[in-house]
Structure 1
């Protein structure tokens, strides 16, 4: 660890390092300079000093790795492999490895995410970035807003799959293993017969409604029996060696059984906070109403855009009506960028309350005309331009986040961790825009003309 060199510096092992000069003039180096590292590190507790093994990365290094993961759109393993062989990534993180060193701990990013989610909220990080970037915002009087869903990486949920996963966890991963450790006979159940029936059900390309209903009833009965048997053993042997994570999963399985038993006699609309994934119980169905994807499973985000930069207004795994966020969004915009004079949003925001609010605060909107009043030619042109910007730039930003910054399917597990990944993906896209914008301003006039 003593051979690791820390930035800022302009020297390598043999003196002057041209590599660092090349890094500073590259796009990655410009992205590095656009991020307020000191402000982000100030949101974390002070680093511990004293005896013990040295950590690979400090506060800046942890944030830099999160930005790099979104910027490069790679997995944790791929990022560490590139870090070990790419000196530009090492300069970006402020840690240059010696020639005979490499990071072999492939779980380091998981521990970094756990540390960040434990000690701070993404709202604090975003406030630091907004205060640093608002000097680069030109058209701060124009506010665009829209909502989207950043999907989580799960298999498409069905009741049969969810019930069978719960049965497998109760019987194979807990009940049978606990009985083996205690040296006691397994309690009687129909698990083996139901496993054969489940295999036959899964092999069919299509199953009728009656077959699916019959399978659900059988699995609900089997899961209830397994939960009772496992609970008796836990009460008898005082936990039987289960950890906190196992008890948390057991509570989720019990709730799944209650919900699925309720759904046998009631419509799905009567059930609130429906669990759709055993490994990610915080996910909820988000009904979007799109033709190709009517329901999505992930976090719903209400995003504000100012001069091409996107910021998160609200991020929640429960569905919410984004039109109720207009007043709060305008207040947030005023706090950071000043009062909004022009506002672009789709028709769902055009409620009477929002129209009255915008009229009282003299905010020009792109909402469809309502009433006998006619608009002049200049107003029609301005309304058309705001609508075009919202429909093209705003929607294009969502596509860029999902395709280029790793937000199409979020693979990390944990409610706060998924929110952090969404945050770093959006902020990495903003950092690239800021870097390009600053580079364009600093470039000579002849290069701009070219």
Structure 2
């Protein structure tokens, strides 16, 4: 059940502290709370709950605010609850009316928050928040209204920067031998569970040869660089153990053991192991190293290998992201657990830019993979200049203006690379700790939301610094004029005497 609050956006003065005083208006959490559109998406979040049945759910501001705090501070779920309990600014940020020493919710609730708040909803919040900030900073005044009218007559305005990256998941580096060993151990646990719940208790438990299988695995796994023949032989042995164990599981089910005695995790793992066994059998028979929809993790079967070709990490295991950057704000355009060609997203990103701003961009700054003939022709029809040299043989003599333009385009394109670096170094984009596919997508979308909040804070603090610096310069100028006038008066009195 969801209960809508009467005042979702409380004023700063209404927050009650156990001691005298009030919250500072220039605190970062107070400023961020003013820019996040809590109330606009509360109705969409409330549709997930019943208005009659169930216990009262946490508000949208509390749910999204807790996820933002976790990502902003880079802490765990339990530490997030502890920080909220100790900090009145964080309690104001999540919408509480007064300070409380008790935690507002249990740490396990953050899992439900990530499940309920989808990545699509987070992207909507991100777009509305950035749009508010851009309108506030680019609002035309009465003096330069004529200039803004001239600019509005142009067809294309602004710059769009697009690129793709990968958000690696928190898994060990997968190898065929390691995955098969894990699958064998899981089948042995499933056999133990089914044997305890079989109807005929007098029959002996099937032999699994687990000690011998473990020894065979360690003989090759402990070697630094085993030969291809040894690895192939070890893979064959582990596959045979798994095949025998799956046969024992079928026999136990035929003897009266039901799959209902397995929990959800074991049942899901059994289905994944069956697919892993099929994939490994096909690759072994055909002497191949890859297969479509290859499973690289038993606990997270949605993860796929993403071939990036980067130095040091040519293959990454996680979600591939397609993102765009507009005026130092970054937007998440696409998340996929399968590898894709990001050049196919350029048209969609440009159309989204037009829907968001009301006009096409003047220029698009992308890397080489986006500069296909189809994308170039499509951009040319709409008067959009795409960065990079034209197709074909380069001219013998390149003008200085062309070189300068190419250098300027690369400098502009570096901003989205910096955003990816910020997300992976400062925030959690370099290692997604969530285990489910939809919760991982939400965690990735929250990272982009927090990065834009950081950009908003930077602009606000920079404007405050410029404002203070301006008046400080005026004060220094007054002091200088006073001292200069005083010196002139002294010199004039000496000359008279």
Q: Taking structure 2 as the reference length, what is the TM-score of the superposition? A: 0.81
Please state whether the residue corresponding to 1:277 is helix, strand or coil: coil
Note if contact 1:303-1:314 (Cα within 8 Å) is conserved in structure 2. yes
C-alpha contact 1:44 1:120 (8 A) present in aligned 2: no
What's the counterpart of residue 232 of structure 1?
Answer: 251
When residues 44 and 12 of structure 1 are mapped into structure 2, their CA distance, relative to the original with a 3 A threshold, is closer
In structure 2, distance between residues paired with 1:187 and 1:97? 62
Query: Is 1:42 the equivalent of 2:43?
Result: yes
Structure 1 residues 210 and 136, CA, compared in 2 at 3 Å: closer, same or farther? Answer: farther
Equivalence for 1:102: 103
Partner of residue 378 from structure 2, selected from 349, 352, 357: 357
Aligned pairs for 1:203-242 within 5 A: 203-235=222-254, 236-242=256-262
**Conserved? CA contact 1:130–1:336, under 8 Å:** no
Q: 1:87 to 1:366 in 2, by over 3 A?
A: same
Q: Distance in 2 between matches of 1:346 and 1:375?
A: 20
Alpha-carbon offset, residue 121 of structure 1: 5.0
Partner deviation per Cα, 1:259-318 (whole Å, 9 max, x = no partner): 011111225466100000111111111111111110001111111000110101211111
Q: Does the 8 A contact of 2:273 with 2:298 survive in 1?
A: yes
Q: Which residue of 2 aligns with 1:111?
A: 112
d(CA) in 1 for partners of 2:80, 2:269: 30
**C-alpha separation between the residues in 2 aligned to 1:66 and 1:18?**
28
Alpha-carbon offset, residue 79 of structure 1: 1.1
After superposition, where does 1:24-39 map in structure 2 within 5 Å?
A: 24-39=25-40
1:150 aligns with 2:161: no
Q: 2:178 — aligned with what?
A: 161
Q: Deviations over 1:43-86 (max 9, x none)?
A: 3134556686555x311100101111111111112211211211
In structure 2, the residue matched to 1:348 is 369
What is the rounded CA distance, in whole Å, between the counterparts of 2:15 and 2:371 in structure 1?
59
Retained in 2: the 8 A contact 1:143–1:343?
A: yes
Closer/same/farther in 2, CA of residues 86 and 135 from structure 1, 3 Å limit: same
Deviation string for 1:19-38 (max 9, x for gaps)?
A: 42x1x311222122121111
Structure 2 residue 309 is matched with structure 1 residue 289: yes
Under a length normalisation based on structure 1, what TM-score does the superposition of the two structures give? 0.89
Q: Cα gap change, 1:267/1:339 in structure 2, threshold over 3 Å: closer, same or farther?
A: farther
For 1:211 and 1:136, the matched residues in 2 are separated by: 66
Cα distance between partner residues in 2 of 1:15 and 1:277: 50
2:80 alignment partner in structure 1: 79
- 2:354 maps to 1:315: no
| Equivalent pair of 2:308/2:316 in contact (CA under 8 Å) | yes
Cα deviation per residue 1:90-134 (whole Å; 9 max; x = unaligned)?
A: 1111126755523573312112222224x9655544454454444
Cα distance change on mapping 1:51 and 1:253 into 2, 3 Å: closer
Question: CA 1:312/1:160 → structure 2, altered by over 3 Å: closer, same or farther?
Answer: same
Cα deviation 1:326-360 (Å, max 9, x = unaligned): 11111111110221111101111121112222222
- How many residue pairs get aligned? The number is 441
Match of 1:177 in 2: 193
Specify the SS of the correspondent of 1:296.
Answer: strand
Alignment CA distance shift 1:268-1:147 (3 Å) = farther
CA distance in 2, matches of 1:260, 1:427: 40
Cα offset for 1:242?
2.0
Q: Which moved more, 1:296-305 or 1:102-111?
A: 102-111
Secondary structure of the residue aligned to 1:310 is strand
Alpha-carbon offset, residue 436 of structure 1: 2.7
Query: SS in structure 2 opposite 1:187?
Result: coil
Q: Shift of residue 188 of structure 1?
A: 2.5
1:189 maps to 208
Say if 1:12 and 1:67 are closer, same or farther in 2 by CA, change over 3 A: closer
Q: CA deviation at 1:87?
A: 1.4
1:315 and 1:419 in contact (8 A); partners too? yes
| Post-superposition offset of 1:248 | 2.2
Q: What is the match of residue 424 of structure 1?
A: 446
Larger Rg: 2
Distance 1:356 1:72, change over 3 A: same
Query: Structure 1 residue aligned with 2:421, among 399, 405, 411?
Result: 399
- Higher RCO by CA contacts (8 Å cutoff, separation 6 or greater): 1
Q: Which moved more, 1:25-34 or 1:295-304?
A: 25-34
Q: Distance in 1 between matches of 2:157 and 2:132?
A: 14
**Structure 1: which 5+ runs fail to align?**
none
Give the stretch that moved more between structures: 203-212 or 247-256.
Answer: 203-212
| In 2, Cα distance between equivalents of 1:34 and 1:205 | 54
CA 1:317–1:39 in 2, change beyond 3 Å: closer, same or farther? same
Residues 1:73 and 1:270: Cα distance change in structure 2 (over 3 Å): closer
2:177, 2:336 → 1: CA distance? 27
Deviation for aligned residue 1:389: 1.5
Match of 2:144 in 1: none
Shifted more, 36-45 versus 160-169: the winner is 36-45
Q: How many angstroms does 1:442 deviate by? A: 5.8
